[in-house]
Amino acid sequence: MLLYPLHELWRASLAPYAYWAQAGAQMYSAPDSWLSALPGAARTAAGFELLYRLGKDYEKPAFGIHQIEVEGLPVPVVERVELEKPFCRLLRFKRYHDQADGLARMKDDPTVLVVAPLSGHHATLLRDTVRTLLADHKVYITDWTDARMVPAEVGPFTLEDYIDYVQAFLRHLGADRVHVISVCQPTVPVLAAVSLMAARGEPVPRSLTMMGGPIDTRQSPTAVNNLATRHPLWWFETNLIHTVPANYPGAGRRVYPGFLQHLGFVAMNPERHSLSHWDFYQDLVKGDLESADAHRRFYDEYNAVLDLPAEYYLDTVRIVFQQHLLPRGLWDVRGERVRPQAITASALLTIEGELDDISGQGQTRAAHALCRGIPAADHQHLTVAGAGHYGIFSGRRWRTQVYPQVRDFIAAHDRAPAAAAGAHPGLTGTAARSRRGTRRTPAMPRGDKSAYTDKQQREARAIAESELARGHSREEAERIAWATVNKRDGGGKRKPRKDGASGSA
């Protein structure tokens, strides 16, 4: 079909007008331009900028995370490529500290792998997720490559390849030292990847946090789910799959183009997007530059889309949305049956938004029924009141309501699994060793805890709550919690600042 080449021709023909509108906006708004002093200049400049933003190309944004704040101090962050594959890069956000005690604390932080969705937008959509996590964790993220940039000779990319990538990243990081957070679409392949690793007897992540994902789309189906079931698979292949044109490295590759996905995103809420653009125009006229800049930031991200490999997209439609193979227990990956009940050593947290119109209520929570091998005390669910799909991983609700629970959940389970022989039921790591009498770690003395950092005290509270849920008394739960913190950190870490030391974590 000629739709993709025609789209590229249209974009190229529109480019001069977009540049003209950009120049017009600057001429009528720049303080040193005489045109900005003319009557109606503000409205003219606003109109030009709106035209420019409607007509411009949107490239992949940068994460742009260069510094965070940890315990009141600025901490530099450097983004680097940890591992690279044809369709994905594993990125690490490495934190640096010039204080020896601060560096030691950061090195002990839990390691988190954020599996970003491959569903139209770039991984930078999770910028706020990553920035927030960095305060208390070592963070890695999957950065999926635009399929039109991957040469056709590399070969196809399927849902099974996605699972292989997740497993490869987990093995590279050391699966049993990692906490995995999957957002939306990847909840399904992540659950499959960990299930297969567990069934083979491989190490598995310490915890799985699944946010707004389509584990079982038969629960509270949304408009997205209904579209997938309303049409047969051949309809999607005939109408949505196109060939990358010759002006891209992936020329000849079959893809679900990003521009078609973007049309679908906008079509879900056309009135809201129209009103947002009108408000942007009005903000420019009124001189409300802060609101106008917030609009720019949102749509710079929202309008930047990538092409999906055709094989992967069609696999997802068929396996996840039409045949529901995972919740039905019928999914085979490269000849191996996906059995979530094989997972026993990973804790599970599922998160849903009350107003999510992409993954409906119960779709993510369904993972708990599938992972019945996980002890009951290690299951946790959170429904975020008033939150839509994006609100559970980005914005104010994510930072103030969701993240504190995710942070405490990870802290409560950031211990290596207990040895199979001799471990007391319900106790793991340091607590299990203490119960057996082999190198008992002294509990935190009652009274003053000023020698412990705020982070250490939060972690101790989270561990204590977890042990209470296992049936221990308050006294025993607190003893286990502080023994765990002491064993890991060697005691309180709140020490006077020491200049001259530097390093990274």
Task: Provide the residue type at 126 as one letter.
Answer: L
What integer pLDDT is reported at residue 266 of this predicted model?
Answer: 86
Residue 378 within any structural domain of the chain? yes
Domain that holds residue 223: 67-235+308-412
**Rounded CA separation 261/267 (Å):** 10
Same domain membership, residue 72 and residue 47: no
What integer pLDDT is reported at residue 1 of this predicted model?
Answer: 64
pLDDT digits (tens, 9 = 90+) for 65-77: 999 988 888 999 9
Contact 93, 77 (CB under 8 A): yes
What integer pLDDT is reported at residue 435 of this predicted model?
Answer: 29
pLDDT digits (tens, 9 = 90+) for 358-400: 899 999 999 999 999 999 999 999 999 999 998 999 999 999 9
Same domain membership, residue 200 and residue 93: yes
Residue 368 within any structural domain of the chain? yes
| Alpha carbons within 13 A on the beta-carbon side of 397 | 17
**Rounded CA separation 312/116 (Å):** 15
What integer pLDDT is reported at residue 500 of this predicted model?
Answer: 46
The tokens describing 272, both together, are 């809201």
Same domain membership, residue 78 and residue 196: yes
**Rounded CA separation 493/358 (Å):** 44
Same domain membership, residue 353 and residue 209: yes
Same domain membership, residue 108 and residue 73: yes
Contact 160, 151 (CB under 8 A): no
Residues of the chain falling short of pLDDT 50: 418-446, 496-501
What integer pLDDT is reported at residue 240 of this predicted model?
Answer: 95
Same domain membership, residue 328 and residue 205: yes
Same domain membership, residue 72 and residue 99: yes
Same domain membership, residue 385 and residue 322: yes
Same domain membership, residue 83 and residue 46: no
Residue 421 within any structural domain of the chain? no
- Ordered alpha helix ranges (H), 76-175: 100-107, 127-133, 159-173
Residue 501 within any structural domain of the chain? no
Same domain membership, residue 345 and residue 319: yes
What's the CATH code of the domain at 167? 3.40.50.1820
Residue 186 within any structural domain of the chain? yes
Same domain membership, residue 456 and residue 370: no
Give the DSSP H or E segment for 383.
strand 379-384
What pTM value is reported for the model? 0.81
Domain end, chosen from 412, 439, 460, is at 412
Same domain membership, residue 332 and residue 275: no
Contact 172, 205 (CB under 8 A): no
Residue 420 within any structural domain of the chain? no
Residue 505 within any structural domain of the chain? no
What integer pLDDT is reported at residue 428 of this predicted model?
Answer: 35
pLDDT digits (tens, 9 = 90+) for 442-501: 334 445 577 778 777 777 777 777 666 666 677 777 777 777 777 667 677 665 444 444
What integer pLDDT is reported at residue 106 of this predicted model?
Answer: 86
Q: How many domains does the chain have?
A: 3
